[in-house]
Amino acid sequence: MEEDEKRLVSNEDDNLTVYGSTSNQPEETLVSDKDKDPTENSSEDNTKELNEIYELVGLGPAQYLYWILTVLVASSDYVELTLLSVILPTLRCIWDLSYVFEAATTVAVYGSYAICAVVFGKIADKYGRKPVIKWATIVLMVAATAGAVSPNEWVFLLTRVLTGACVGVNISCIACYCTEFSESRYRAHGSFIFSVSMKLGKVGVNVLAYLLLHVIGWRWFIIVCTIQAVPTLVMIIILPESPRYLCANGQQDKAMKAIRCLARLNGKELSDDLQVVCCSDQDSGSYSKLLSKEHKKSVIALSVIYFSNIFVEYGLITLLPLLFSSDICGAGVAPEHICQNLSQEDLAKLSIVTSTQIVAAVGALILALTVNRLVPLRVAIGFAVLSMMCFFVCVGPVFTLLTSVVIKMCIAVSNTLIWIMMPESFPTDIRSTAIGFINGWGKLGGLLGAGCVYLLFYTNPYALIGLYSAVALIGFISSLVYDRETKGEEMKET
């Protein structure tokens, strides 16, 4: 009779256990897993959400390896983009380039970047981050090496277009990669490392130019700048695909294989029956979902803000070497287009301006973790607008240098915050598509911002600075319109 007093009833839901009593309890009473005896044998499926499994995997060598890969990809790619600004003055003298050809080269590079960022962001959502980065890195190495042995300006232009395309492919993919292999609380760290790595690439190429350009020549300089892609290729071949991407695309077995690889690297053991909750196979990389009511405001606002930021940033990348080498004051009288190499002093100034961006990026991470994303973003863009107007004042070369430093630091803060916000704002199934779309629009801004330098600097520098100020103001207004704060939100799969 005692057996009749109490009996264990299994509920159809494997995650619940039911206890009942014929004397003083209802027929079925649900008891949660946490109330069960952990030593009890259970036939339940050991299935967990991805973030729960990431907590078991922990933070360790696996994440560090991915972050090292992020540094290699982002910095080497931006080395390839930025080196154009320091070697074009040399090529102008060697090949007697016109400023129209220089403008066309710059526009072509950023144009190929923008197009491929948009197109391959979608492809990375459909076919994976890892294969896209691997093949883009291979093509980049070949194109950069071909550029170093170019017999004339036209071959060089073609190789730079291919290089720009590969950078556009890589950047959108690695921005997803660096946030998808750890639990959500570390996502800002991955985005920060990515953003700083891009700035390291810009700093690195200017420091290398200062040390080596006049010593080894421009051809060997390109080779030295491209060497970094070799360890990048090795690491992307060895490391597994993003588990978050695999889960979002219904590839449970592959996701668990990647997760177990991360666990082994971190020295953690996962139970043999552990499984991850994955979505069913779906149409990833959907533009219709990207531009749906749920995501449209985020896409448009971030695209406008990033467009204005990169318009100014890439404009300054092209402008500052000309501004320093021409030795004009602020936005003063237009100089002549002449064959004039960058001096060691000019290269030192460029190194100073780009180096301060690292400090600004660190400050942006601290603000993102302790305050939020939106307020620092608005303040940084606002200061960039005010600082841009200081170029109208002709005080002297030191004042011009300091103004350049302040503008670059403000842009570094806002861009770091935007790159933190972008992966947070969209689910995994359209994350690369969204980043590629926004990044593509940003590089379209870079294309126009850099092209305007060649169109206006030699005719009306005041109009050029006025244009930069107006575009920065549009970005500031867009940051006021955008009202989504992503701090504290969980990363979504779909």
The pLDDT value given to residue 45: 62
- What burial class does residue 185 get, using C-beta atoms within 10 Å of its C-beta: 0-12 exposed, 13-18 middle, 19+ buried? middle
Report how far residue 430's alpha carbon sits from residue 95's, in angstroms, rounded to the nearest whole number: 45
Question: Per the structure block, which two tokens stand in for 228?
Answer: 């970094």
Q: pLDDT, tens digit, for every residue of 262-283?
A: 899 888 888 888 888 777 666 6
Average pLDDT of every residue of the chain = 81
The pLDDT value given to residue 474: 95
The band of 378, judged by pLDDT with boundaries at 50, 70 and 90, is very high
Report how far residue 161's alpha carbon sits from residue 116's, in angstroms, rounded to the nearest whole number: 11
Report how far residue 121's alpha carbon sits from residue 78's, in angstroms, rounded to the nearest whole number: 18
Question: Per the structure block, which two tokens stand in for 408?
Answer: 């670059």
Q: Domains of the chain (ranges plus CATH)?
A: 2-41 (no CATH), 51-481 (1.20.1250.20)
The band of 184, judged by pLDDT with boundaries at 50, 70 and 90, is low
Backbone angles phi and psi of 23, in degrees to 5: -100, -50
Length, in residues, of the chain = 494
The pLDDT value given to residue 5: 43
What residues does 21 pair with on adjacent strands? 6
Q: pLDDT, tens digit, for every residue of 26-43?
A: 444 444 444 444 434 443
The band of 8, judged by pLDDT with boundaries at 50, 70 and 90, is very low
Q: What pTM was computed for the model?
A: 0.73
Beta-carbon contacts of 183 under 8 Å, excluding residues fewer than 6 positions away, are 51, 54, 55
Cβ atoms of 307 and 79 closer than 8 Å = no
The band of 316, judged by pLDDT with boundaries at 50, 70 and 90, is confident
Cβ atoms of 378 and 313 closer than 8 Å = no
Report how far residue 218's alpha carbon sits from residue 238's, in angstroms, rounded to the nearest whole number: 33
Report how far residue 288's alpha carbon sits from residue 299's, in angstroms, rounded to the nearest whole number: 12
Q: Are strands 17-21 and 275-276 parallel, antiparallel or unpaired?
A: unpaired
The stretch 91-105 carries a mean pLDDT of 84
What residues does 276 pair with on adjacent strands? 48
Question: Per the structure block, which two tokens stand in for 75?
Answer: 């910095």
Neighbours of 348 (CB within 10 A): 15
